[in-house]
Structures are given as structure tokens and as C-alpha cells.
Amino acid sequence: MGKNKGKGKKQKNVFQVASKQTKNKNKAKAVKTSLKHINAVKNKKIENLNEVFTQVQRDVRNVSKSQEKKRKLAQVVREPPKELVNVDSAAQLFSQL
């Protein structure tokens, strides 16, 4: 049987048909517009993060203020009422037992 033998390289056509359209393999890319788009998206993300962090900061302040109020109220409630203690009457009551 016959085997395919390498015939060598084919020559390129010297003449091109005028109606044939060639494709540009390396198209110019719009760098400036894509960078503007990237910067716009990045700025939006940064603004959103700033809003989130400011909200978290407000929440932390409110929580800390409420905890301070609770601590103050707890200290006020925990303090025993200041009454004069009559030791003599307490000793008489114990002696009666």
C-alpha cells in the first residue's frame, strides 16, 4: 500500500483575491474605557463597604451605650437601701428565741 509522504511546505499564494476579507487577529482593545468601567465598579464597592462599616460602627456605639446604662442601673439596684440598723432591738429579738 501507498504511504503518505511529506511533500514539503506549500507555497503561499502570492496574489490575494480582492473580495476576500482577512480577519484582524490582533484587534485594538479599548483600554481607557475598560479601566473607567473597572474604576467605577471598584468605587461602588468601596462606597458600599464604607456604608456597611459606618452602620456597624453605629451599632457598636449603641450597644456599648446600652450596656453602660444597664451597668449603671444594675449598680443602682444592687445597692442595699440605707437604713439605720437598730442593734439593740435585734439583740433583744435574738434573746427572746
Domain boundaries, the chain: 29-77
So what's the pLDDT on residue 71?
74
User: What is the percent of the chain where pLDDT is above 90?
Assistant: 19
pLDDT exceeds 90 at position 63: no
40: left (phi over 0), alpha (psi -120 to 50) or beta: alpha
Region 77-86: mean pLDDT is 66
pTM reported for the whole predicted model: 0.39
pLDDT exceeds 80 at position 90: yes
* Phi and psi angles of residue 90, each rounded to the nearest 5 degrees, phi first: -65, -35
Tens-place pLDDT, residues 13-41: 666 666 656 666 677 766 777 788 888 89
Instruction: Show the cell assigned to 34.
Output: 475598560
